[in-house]
Amino acid sequence: MFDIEDCLTDILAIPGALDALVIEETGGAALAVGRTAPHLDPQESAAALSRALRATLDGLAFASPDGTVRVDDIIITSDKGHHLLRPLETPLTGPVLLYLRLDLERSNLALARHRLRTVSGRLTSA
């Protein structure tokens, strides 16, 4: 069975991966923590990323003609790297959010999105 720890291992194997979290989407708690920057609190980061997802979904739903929107992933590029957020529904833990931070210079964004989609597919079929 493919579990959350296997998920994190595969996510961190993506070329250029710096940080990874698996976040319980509803409450914003970190379910599993990969590498994180030493000065960051993973629980605070998880809560903030969960709020960012909700704000994005709310904004997109408001701007959508039919009032609903399904998001496959969110990509944010900053001066420090690429940030990928992938919400998904898992059979065991319910809605989760996968977070991956990539090195701007050493990563391939298209490859990272593909691999994150593959990992999330295995997690949802557990």
Q: Which range of residues forms the domain containing residue 87?
A: 4-124
**For residues 18 and 104, what is the distance between their CA atoms, to the nearest angstrom?**
10
Cα–Cα distance, 14 to 17 (Å, whole number): 6
Residues 32/23, Cβ–Cβ less than 8 Å? no
Number of domains in the chain: 1
pLDDT band at 103 (very low <50, low <70, confident <90, very high): very high
Q: Give tens-digit pLDDT for 40-94.
A: 899 999 999 999 998 988 888 888 888 777 889 999 999 989 999 999 887 767 7
CATH of the domain at 68: 3.30.450.30
Q: Work out the mean pLDDT of the chain and round it to a whole number.
A: 88
The alpha-helical segments, DSSP class H, found in the chain are 4-12, 42-63, 109-124
pLDDT, position 1? 44
